[in-house]
Homo-oligomer: A and B are copies of this chain.
């Protein structure tokens, strides 16, 4: 059999997991692997950036799972600072540009299999001042390094006692994590969001609990207000963030507005994209309609098993699984990525925030009718030290009682309880079935009725009540 060549675009989670898994299954004399990465880093945890910026973890080295050298040792021909500028699917080749060479040399490289793992780009609304020095995204390690350099420069030039002020635009997971990071660095932090509550990944009633907790942490939140301009001073640097009727002074601005799939190349090549702009794939992570073009990670849409629709979810854990599945496929094995249930967990200081399944609005959008139940309980037996309050909201389908979603807000021990619901969603359980789940109990770990069981009981009662009164 002739030697084949795998080309990988993007040297982070999906790309390098795919390359590594393919290498495990195929020797270099059967499969050549070339990977192109336009940045300075490979295989890193972008999710760790807020903790690096906040000084909780060291970086950037600690965030790097595998260096270029380590990949090369495993016979992966990794070319750093090399950008792919065009895909030619007919001729099965990609055009690349060497970003380090002064002449920006371009060349074509052929492939038998191609992995598109181009990731995502942070949303940058077309506001006046958005490109001013002092405005930072936090998508890549390069972004993180730039932000840290800016913070260090500002901090070293500041006078003793100077108040340092930061504005975070957007209060999603990354926004609140960056707010925590900046608080840890001693900044006065204002978070501005268009939505009425932080964490639009939660229903408003649960998001409100997060907002209250953020206030308690000294984070100033401005809600339901759009940013109109990022103002710069006479030095050209950012000095404030303006809304319709207010202005918030800022030495630094962090964009936490979420990300969009980076699929410019794929779009130019005519590959199928979903509503979010993410690539559409089949279960084996092949791009739909393609036999040898694979895609995964932050540049694809994934099937949401609860809503039945594809959507864009940028999350390292999915990206790694995608890489694993692609590498198996390229290597001649069989693996699939069946989809997600929409699980996410994050924290802001001591507060843990988690969700899985659909929110009320998402449920409505796809045609579900449902009941909800929200309970307050504690993460441990009420009498055990560290038994903090936690809230669980459960959404269940009318009539069938099938679990549709769970949201959790609490403190230590609250967040990862979302996994119980994630497995139950995957298994298609009803809330009534969940009331009998045999969950781990002893006083340091749970009340005798785990909060998830309490929520399931209430939700099951709501399903019955609704059924009794339904038309």
Task: Decide if A440 is an interface residue (CB 8 Å cutoff).
Answer: yes
- A contacts with B, residue count (CB < 8 A): 64
Task: Decide if A201 is an interface residue (CB 8 Å cutoff).
Answer: no
Task: Decide if A181 is an interface residue (CB 8 Å cutoff).
Answer: no
Q: Out of B57, B318, B337, B381, which one reaches A385, CB within 8 Å?
A: B57
Q: Out of B346, B352, B416, B444, which one reaches A51, CB within 8 Å?
A: B444
Bound together, the chains give a CA A11 to CA B156 distance in angstroms of: 67
A85-122 Cβ-contact flags toward B at 8 Å (1 or 0): 00000000000000000000000000000000000000
Q: Out of B63, B343, B346, B347, which one reaches A438, CB within 8 Å?
A: B343
Q: Which one, A210-218, A219-227, A417-425, is touching chain B?
A: A417-425
Task: Decide if A62 is an interface residue (CB 8 Å cutoff).
Answer: yes
A335 to nearest B CB, angstroms? 8
Q: Which residues of A401-440 have CB atoms within 8 Å of chain B's CB atoms?
A: 413, 415-420, 422-424, 426-427, 429, 433, 436-440
- Asked if A381 meets B45 with Cβ closer than 8 Å, knowing A436-B321, A441-B317, the reply is yes
Q: Out of B316, B336, B413, B423, which one reaches A416, CB within 8 Å?
A: B413
A40-66 Cβ-contact flags toward B at 8 Å (1 or 0): 000001011001000011100011000
Task: Decide if A167 is an interface residue (CB 8 Å cutoff).
Answer: no
Q: Which residues of A375-411 have CB atoms within 8 Å of chain B's CB atoms?
A: 381, 383-385
B381 touches A438 (CB 8 A): no
Q: Which residues of A132-175 have CB atoms within 8 Å of chain B's CB atoms?
A: 173
Task: Decide if A442 is an interface residue (CB 8 Å cutoff).
Answer: yes
Q: Which residues of B contact A437 (CB under 8 A)?
A: 419, 422-423, 426
Number of copies: 2
Q: Besides the contacts A345-B446, A415-B440, A415-B445, what 8 more A-B pairs have beta carbons closer than 8 Å? A: A58-B383, A321-B436, A345-B445, A356-B438, A419-B420, A423-B429, A424-B427, A427-B427
B422 touches A438 (CB 8 A): yes
Q: Out of B45, B48, B448, which one reaches A320, CB within 8 Å?
A: B448
Q: Which residues of B contact A127 (CB under 8 A)?
A: none
Q: Which residues of B contact A420 (CB under 8 A)?
A: 419-420, 423
Bound together, the chains give a CA A347 to CA B342 distance in angstroms of: 31
A179 to nearest B CB, angstroms? 15
A455 to nearest B CB, angstroms? 14
- Asked if A416 meets B438 with Cβ closer than 8 Å, knowing A62-B383, A383-B45, the reply is no
A-B contact pairs, 10 of them (CB 8 A): A13-B448, A45-B383, A57-B443, A316-B448, A343-B439, A347-B444, A417-B419, A418-B440, A419-B439, A427-B427
Q: Which residues of A313-345 have CB atoms within 8 Å of chain B's CB atoms?
A: 315-318, 320-321, 336-338, 340-345
Q: Out of B337, B416, B448, which one reaches A445, CB within 8 Å?
A: B416
Task: Decide if A449 is an interface residue (CB 8 Å cutoff).
Answer: yes
Bound together, the chains give a CA A410 to CA B442 distance in angstroms of: 16
B347 touches A442 (CB 8 A): yes
